[in-house]
Structure 1
């Protein structure tokens, strides 16, 4: 089943990592980049390498430091082959070459964070850069700054571009970027509903209290499950296209969507 919740946690706070692993997230992301001050980078890397020397109870990804900086190469060298790591998240990817270079240095699955206008323009090239790349997502804080966008809706074109690029490349739907106000759970739920309408699947979080809100927003509702069951029962009783009593038309696309909904509900 596609992960719905990705919980970020600072790599220089091992006790917080302990709590994150027990918080119920589908994936825990140990962050070596934005959440760690420069004078704590080496400690965060060492603590993360020690943690991931053994398998973990849930999938753990590591967000490395950005390319071209003083820490990225050391991060990759320290973490690329550890048995407790399930994936590497690469920040500030601007083109396919970063994916290819990283894939040469590790067998771990890679996930690209697109955080600039140039990255959005190259979204499909990044998505198809190498078989090791398993997903795309947006870094909306940096992207908003790069574009000079103030209103949240100003990022919707970029969001749709990344959703389309992932689909065209055969990747899983991308998760939404974080909702930075951990107290605004109503705003988080509304934002998740909007993201789901755009084609996202799941969301990154920065606090455990956000996890159940995200899961509820992305799991099928009882009404959606009932409708999907109706569609599949009607399709099983007929050959070819047909319409339900309320006039809705059922074709292969409707059947596929119903199957996805029931698959998600069953996985939950």
Structure 2
């Protein structure tokens, strides 16, 4: 069963009532934000609230709860790490990740899975290094608004190549497909769907979101349709019949060629069709969350 969420719902850590609503909203993962959404004067309160939420979680809570910490090397980031080390958190989202040594230190200090957000030219340039920096790196992705500003490019067309690079770096390191960056126009679900479909087609899986009303459109796009599931099951049946004959490839009933690459893709479709499970704190390598 996949442990890779389709939706990652950000919620400001200092807004206790919003955190409670986010946890009940139905997202696959909730990300308590200690960074951009929290004013400087509220950082301590947000951190304390995040710790309280984590400490109060039932051991069998099926939801994934992550925390976006402040950037490594900052005072706020150091305080976040000290407060969260050893807590029952499903992982940390790390903004402005650009130094593999800092990533290794963070992993060793916290023992938590890490999702690295590449938001600078330096981080993007070192994407493959960062992806392989430590076994607790569970994923990499882009922080597109910050990255576009640093690269001096348009966020839409100007980041096309960067998206391809981060997809390739993640997969080369054996990580799951990257999570797609936020669609900020909460009032435009059609735009959310269209750009999510584009993201899925170009190698992303799942999306960061900023409002509960974005959950359903993202789940709609990132959940394989019944037709896709049926086609994948047909591929596996064809492959099984071919294997019984001692063959590694065959034509299915529609005359389509089925080889090991097609079979691997079909298995990924079926894996993604299942509801995501919460990863065990002492479970398998986080790199095993998504089939090639």
TM-score (norm 1): 0.95
- Equivalent residue number for residue 289 of structure 2: none
- Structure 2 residue matching 1:137: 3-state secondary structure: strand
- Equivalent residue number for residue 69 of structure 1: 74
CA contact (8 A) 2:145 2:155 kept: no
1:195 aligns with 2:203: no
- Equivalent residue number for residue 16 of structure 2: 14
- Equivalent residue number for residue 138 of structure 1: 142
Count of residue correspondences: 267
Shift of 1:115: 0.4
Aligned partner of 2:7 among 2, 5, 8 = 5
CA contact (8 A) 2:15 2:46 kept: yes
Moved more, 151-160 or 177-186: 151-160
- Structure 2 residue matching 1:55: 3-state secondary structure: coil
CA contact (8 A) 1:234 1:244 kept: yes
For residues 266 and 31 of structure 1, the distance between their equivalents in structure 2, rounded to whole angstroms, comes to 27
- Equivalent residue number for residue 164 of structure 2: 160
1:176 aligns with 2:184: no
Structure 1: gaps (5+ residues): none
- Equivalent residue number for residue 256 of structure 1: 264
Shift of 1:244: 3.1
CA contact (8 A) 2:6 2:205 kept: yes
Aligned-residue Cα RMSD (Å) equals: 1.4
- Structure 1 residue matching 2:55: 3-state secondary structure: coil
For residues 177 and 92 of structure 1, the distance between their equivalents in structure 2, rounded to whole angstroms, comes to 14
The verdict on how the C-alpha distance between 1:188 and 1:45 changes in structure 2, with shifts beyond 3 A counting, is same
Structure 2: gaps (5+ residues): 277-292
Shift of 1:151: 5.0
- Equivalent residue number for residue 29 of structure 2: 27
CA contact (8 A) 1:54 1:82 kept: no
Moved more, 50-59 or 3-12: 50-59
1:98 aligns with 2:102: yes
- Structure 2 residue matching 1:71: 3-state secondary structure: helix
For residues 248 and 98 of structure 2, the distance between their equivalents in structure 1, rounded to whole angstroms, comes to 45
TM-score (norm 2): 0.87
For residues 222 and 119 of structure 1, the distance between their equivalents in structure 2, rounded to whole angstroms, comes to 38
